[in-house]
Amino acid sequence: MSIMSLADYTFWEKFEKDYFNENKDAYNRKKHQLAEILIEQVEGLLIPGLKESIEVMEIGTPLTNIRYTQNPGGAIYGYDRNKKHLESRTPAKGLYLASAWANGGGYTPAMMAGRNAVRHLLNDFKTL
């Protein structure tokens, strides 16, 4: 089971330098503190006894996302939702964009961005 909440990177940015220097005490304390709050909220609202039933717990933050994906700000959905998405075909010949940063976040939009990029590439290839 996973409990997720979107997080503003500005909150985690202050831990960034220490995090990447393997100095994670303050970061870990904050991460666990926030996880406890989330668990308590879910327990109170939805799943009585949740805390007692947890055997293994992994906690991820935007810094975790940066470590694994290199996405700026640990973004999981690409650009801010209110920003216009980019076209897969760019003005630069031979450069196509895929990923959540091209077509919007989530598995399906990211996969569709890949499909769009390949479609453009194949069409352009035909007209060479």
Ligand X SMILES: Cc1cc2nc3c(=O)[nH]c(=O)nc-3n(C[C@H](O)[C@H](O)[C@H](O)COP(=O)(O)OP(=O)(O)OC[C@H]3O[C@@H](n4cnc5c(N)ncnc54)[C@H](O)[C@@H]3O)c2cc1C
Separation of alpha carbons 10 and 25, rounded Å: 19
Binding mask 4-43 for ligand X (x = CB under 6 A): ----------------------------------------
* Contacts of ligand X in 78-117 (CB under 6 A): 99-100, 105-107, 110
How open is the CA angle 111-113-114, to the nearest 5 degrees?
Answer: 65
Nearer to ligand X, 50 or 86 (CB): 86
Nearer to ligand X, 20 or 68 (CB): 68
Q: How many CA atoms lie within 13 A of 92 on its CB side?
A: 4
Min. distance of Cβ 74 from ligand X in angstroms? 8
- Residue by residue, DSSP assigns 4-73 as -----HHHHHTTHHHHHTT--HHHHHHHHHHHHHHHHHHHHHT-TTHHHH-S------HHHHHHHH--GG
Q: Does 71 bind ligand X (CB under 6 A)?
A: yes
Binding segment for ligand X (CB under 6 A), chosen from 5-13, 60-68, 89-97, 117-125, is 60-68
Contacts to ligand X by CB under 6 A: 60, 65, 68-71, 76-77, 99-100, 105-107, 110
